[in-house]
């Protein structure tokens, strides 16, 4: 009887763990197009522009899991630059928010993956609740490539802009990242 109970418990544990595997947030980054596709365990989907590592500061490619999450981190390596909603995935590399939203859509970082503050806050909340599987593929466009030139003239692709009453300051955003005013 104990053996049967043990086997039943093991089966229940395996079923529960298989359910957890589907709850992961899938983060697919394409460095070639400077975009991120996100699919949550809840069925939500997002497509966002990013900034990856510029020339000399490549973003690592491969498959990763989040290793650490911080609501705000300051980069001691780069003049205490704020890294809000940081999701670390490979050593010191992270996905995080940026106040340089005009650079989204083209390589501009020191290797991290940058998102708009609102998108970073949304992603952070989802990953904190569900965990993440991160896939980074492609090659960032070279500085003189047609993608970089096309996006450089406009500042950022259309996805980086959304109608707003007014832009909030970085201090307002750090106090209330989701903008629930």
pLDDT at residue 171, as a whole number: 75
Tens-place pLDDT, residues 53-79: 999 999 999 999 999 999 999 988 888
Tens-place pLDDT, residues 81-129: 899 999 999 999 999 999 999 999 999 999 999 999 999 999 999 999 9
Number of structural domains, the chain?
1
Query: Longest C-alpha distance within the chain, in Å?
Result: 73
- Domain limits at 62? 22-161
16 in a domain, yes or no?
Answer: no
98 in a domain, yes or no?
Answer: yes
Q: Which residue has the higher pLDDT, 102 or 174?
A: 102
155 in a domain, yes or no?
Answer: yes
Q: What is the CATH number of the domain that holds 54?
A: 2.40.440.10
In terms of DSSP bridges, do strands 132-137 and 25-30 run parallel, antiparallel, or are they unpaired? parallel
Beta bridge partners of 115: 97
In terms of DSSP bridges, do strands 93-97 and 113-115 run parallel, antiparallel, or are they unpaired? parallel
87 in a domain, yes or no?
Answer: yes
111 in a domain, yes or no?
Answer: yes
34 in a domain, yes or no?
Answer: yes
By 3-state DSSP, what share of the chain in percent is helix, strand and coil, each rounded to 5?
30, 30, 40
């Amino acid at each position: 009887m104990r053996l049967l109970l043990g086997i039943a418990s093991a089966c229940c544990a395996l079923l529960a763990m298989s359910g957890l595997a589907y709850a992961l947030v899938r983060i697919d980054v394409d460095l070639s197009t400077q975009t991120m596709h996100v699919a949550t365990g809840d069925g939500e989907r997002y497509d966002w522009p990013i900034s990856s590592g510029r020339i000399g500061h490549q973003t690592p490619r491969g498959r990763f899991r989040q290793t650490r999450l911080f609501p705000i981190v300051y980069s001691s390596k780069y003049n205490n630059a704020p890294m809000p909603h940081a999701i670390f995935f490979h050593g010191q590399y992270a996905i995080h928010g940026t106040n340089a939203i005009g650079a989204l859509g083209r390589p501009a970082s020191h290797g991290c993956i940058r998102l708009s503050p609102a998108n970073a806050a949304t992603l952070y909340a989802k990953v904190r609740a569900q965990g993440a599987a991160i896939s980074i593929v492609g090659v960032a466009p070279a500085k003189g490539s047609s993608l970089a030139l096309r996006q450089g003239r406009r500042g950022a692709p259309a996805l980086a802009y959304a109608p707003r009453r007014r832009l909030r300051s970085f201090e307002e955003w750090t106090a209330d990242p989701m903008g629930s005013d």
